[in-house]
Structure 1
Amino acid sequence: MDRLSQEKPLKILVVTQYFWPENMRINNMVEGFVAKGHEVTVLTGQPNYPEGKIYADYRRDPAQFSNYHGAQIVRVPIFARGQRSLTLALNYLSFFASASTIGSYKLRGQSFDSIFVFGVSPIMVAIPGIVLGRLKKAPAFIWILDLWPESLRAVGVIKSPRLLGWAGKVVSWIYNRADYLLLQSRSFDESVKQYCTRAISEDRLVYFPSWAEDDFSGAAPVASDLLQRDDSVFTVLFAGNIGDAQDFPAIMEAVKAVKADLPVRWVIVGDGRASQWLARHVAEHRLDNVLLLGRHPLEKMPALFAVADALLVSLKTNEVFEKTIPGKVQAYLASSKPIIAMIDGEAAKVVANSGAGMVCGSGDALGLANIVRSMGALPATERERMGLLGRRYYFEHFSKAILFDRLEVLFRKATLRRSDK
């Protein structure tokens, strides 16, 4: 075991379609591993998320985006996301093609101890990591954040059994060639094994959850310049993607059900595919207690959370979503605020086991209305107690320091396994 605790710095290659100045959790990991003394290189695309256009500052001076807290950034050309399905598809395809070819060329002559893939959808982002793992003779780690192809079916992106079958074969090809598969949720295990058509040992399937960015787990935030505290109402805040998966129709039914008997202010922060529908619905039904603040930078979120009395997380009823822990759950726990959850499965267990809030089933609008009433009726001291329980649970189970230490040991173990062959 002492061989795993060597102090020799590691050479780590991170493969990610999205990276700083785009706002992604992987930025936090890269900064953390540089701070631990490791030599980190990031292979990524040109920044264009979420607006869909290459950032103007990057166009003017790409060199200023070539280093992040001491990590070298190697960028490859890609199609910008744009605003259409076609350009989004080209964006995805261009990254894995460009990173596998141009990226490999740009990284020629460099060696790495481990390759880490930030596996956001689509799963093809892992292909450059597999390619480079073979070229560099380094173990490839894929952090699986979404289940493919199940998530495609769950959100209705692909309905054709033939296309879903083809996507499943791509997933199998990737999983079979990865050295380690890191699972965002414990419930991913059976689904991932289903696509590992070659035998994979249990020690190479590793539970590795998300963490909250430092903004949420650090010192108390300053006052928000976007929203003021109002003690005459009970403030419920939702932050994140406003999409089909979040089931805003059910949330709006709960808003209407509660409006007559409890002064609740619903604050929605974020944007997404369902944003326009939500804005129209709020206007048409004259829901003047629903505030749509739009998308704001991550650094604004802790102050907004501090204004809220409770934080809302929701996902539609779906077998795939039951296995997922939305990244906002960790941020909510770390921020010491009670959680209202309209959700099933793994995320519901986290909220319930932590004692950090109240849970109703996915899609249960009346259930959501009831737990909002119940939470609103609690003394402020009881809600504060829930929030503190959540924060304690966060540091026991999702602390960035603990997770990064665990991953570092895994990197060293994989390096030793390779060298012993």
Structure 2
Amino acid sequence: MKHAYPISEDCQTAGGLAVKDLRVLVVSQHFWPENFRINDVVDSLRSEGCDVEVLSGQPNYPHGKIFRGYSAFGLRTELHPSGYVIHRVPLAPRRGGGGFWRVWNYLSFVIFGGMLGPYLTRGRRYDVVFVYAISPILQGLVGAVFRQIKGAAHVIWVQDLWPESLEETGFVKNRLALAAVERLTRFIYGRADLLLAQSRGFVGKIRAVAGDDTVVVYHPNPGDEVIKRDVPHGDPPLTLPAGFNIVFAGNLGTAQALETVLDAASRIQDPDIRVVLVGSGSRSDWLAKQIEIRGLTNVVLAGRFPADAMPGIFAQASALLVTLNRSAALSLTIPSKIPTYLAAGRPILACLDGEAAELIRDAHSGIAVPAEDSIGLAEAMLRLKNMSEQARESMGTAGRQYFNTHLAPAPLARELIEHFRCAITMRKTPRGLPRN
């Protein structure tokens, strides 16, 4: 097959195993009924014929409370409504999201996933253990355990750079601690047969930590397939008022440069322009207070909605907003909302740096201004609003076309299967020194 994203020379000779015979264990601390991109990736892999199971924790994100019907101490195997198996290990909930509980939440999945995951999956054979490595990278330790016990190829899909993300968010500042995290990250990378990077900018950074013995390949996040479906009939769960509605959808956290959004909104005098924040996160309460203190009548904190509600919300949006803080690590990141925004076919307003801004410009799908530039963001809001409807529709159409060509779930799932085959080949014929 012709690869949209050429894989490394080490992978070019991989093959042999038929897709229908490919048994994949996905390791992800977060999974359905939590709303994460990996849910759609699993569906896409199954649609392509893979036999997929999932090892996850007890659902508790984003509010830090275990979902109804689950228990923090639960140890169970259940069936997803689509018919595949999900293995659940005990997990300490995030609770209020404070430092102690967040760390214990991460460590509990690593401990119980590594110790009890093999028990839940006893007697089952896997060809690939696929780790969805949103922060923290510690989840890769669980994959390493399964690689050792099951003899499966170990693939880690790196979604966040460590230790850079810890340093730039200020979560860890001590240089010795950061050096220790880098050594641990190198150890985890070294136990993988293949590392996948969610952005091209990640590849060099990962290689610098992983060393020469581990293959690193670019594999982007797909867009959300639900956005491409028809908008449901009936009243949407959120009805946007008349006017030019700029919708931000997703996590409202420390990395999203929300001060910049509020500063930009405070500069807007046009009464038709409104910023609608759809989602929740660690800064939700702060946002509510700031909107009140600043008297911002053009910013709406709409709350969180399920994934199947988003097509109806996006269909009403005049534009879709994505923002990030200014930092070296974040400039290498492509936020997972961008492919979904492209799929929605609406013009995009971006206030960020680096690879994500270049993607939006390459796709001709909107306007990108530098990270934390509230003046530039306010001017971009006005410029987009004052464009003709035809010009904005052209941006949305170009974004959808870019999504179909580069970021649609089905072709990316086929690419991912080829990466799995590559890892299986390398697992059977390891290069360099043994890493068992």
- Of 215, 219, 227 in structure 1, the residue corresponding to residue 226 of structure 2 is 215
Q: Quick one: which amino acid aligns to residue 254 of structure 2? A: D
For the pair 1:43 / 2:55, whether they are aligned, the reply is yes
Aligned to 1:71: 84
Flag structure 1 segments of 5+ consecutive residues without an equivalent: none
1:318 Cα offset (Å): 0.4
Partner of 1:339: 348
Instruction: Give me the TM-score of the superposition, normalised by structure 2.
Output: 0.91
With 117-126 and 218-227 compared, the bigger mean Cα shift is at 218-227
| 8 Å Cα contact 1:15/1:116 also seen in 2 | yes
Is the aligned partner of 1:256 residue 2:304?
A: no
More helix by share: 1
- 1:392-411 correspondence to structure 2 within 5 Å: 392-411=401-420
User: What letter is aligned with 1:80?
Assistant: P
SS of the counterpart of 2:155?
strand
- Is the contact made by 2:193 and 2:427 (CA closer than 8 Å) also made in structure 1? no
Aligned partner of 2:324 in structure 1 is: 315
Q: What is the alpha-carbon distance in structure 1 between the residues aligned to residue 137 and residue 288 of structure 2? A: 32
* Contact 1:4–1:409 under 8 Å retained in 2: no
1:105 aligns with 2:119: yes
* Structure 1 residues 323-372: Cα deviation after superposition (integer angstroms, max 9, x where no partner): 00001101110000000011100100011000000011001111001111
Alpha-carbon distance in 2 for matches of 1:133, 1:117: 11
Higher relative contact order (CA 8 A, sep 6+): 2
1:205-254 C-alpha deviation (Å, 9 max, x unpaired) = 111111122211223454653443544x2111111111121111111111
Aligned pairs for 1:179-328 (under 5 A) are: 179-197=193-211, 199-200=212-213, 204-222=215-233, 225-231=236-242, 233-258=243-268, 260-261=269-270, 263-328=272-337
In structure 2, relative to structure 1, the CA distance for the partners of 1:98 and 1:208 (3 Å cut) is same
Distance 2:182 2:428 in 1: 32
Identity rate, percent? 37
1:125 aligns with 2:136: no
**Cα distance change of structure 1 residues 10 and 105 upon mapping to structure 2, 3 Å threshold:** same
Partner of 1:287, secondary structure, is: coil
Work out the CA distance in 1 between the residues paired with 2:347 and 2:324.
18
Contact 1:270 1:293 in 2 (8 A): yes
Give SS of 2:119's match.
Answer: helix
| AA of the residue aligned to 1:303 | G
Provide the rounded CA distance (Å) in 1 between the counterparts of 2:14 and 2:115.
38
- Provide the C-alpha distance between the structure 1 equivalents of 2:235 and 2:139, rounded to a whole number of angstroms: 36
Q: What is the TM-score of this pair, normalised by structure 1?
A: 0.94
CA distance in 2, matches of 1:351, 1:224: 31
Residue 360 of structure 1 pairs with residue 360 of structure 2: no
Contact kept in structure 2, 1:254 and 1:366, CA below 8 Å: yes
Gaps of 5+ in 2: 1-12, 431-436
Q: Return structure 1 stretches of 4+ with deviation > 6 angstroms.
A: 60-64
The residue type paired with residue 27 of structure 1 is N
State yes or no: 1:152 paired with 2:166: yes
Tell me the C-alpha RMSD between the 2 structures.
2.0
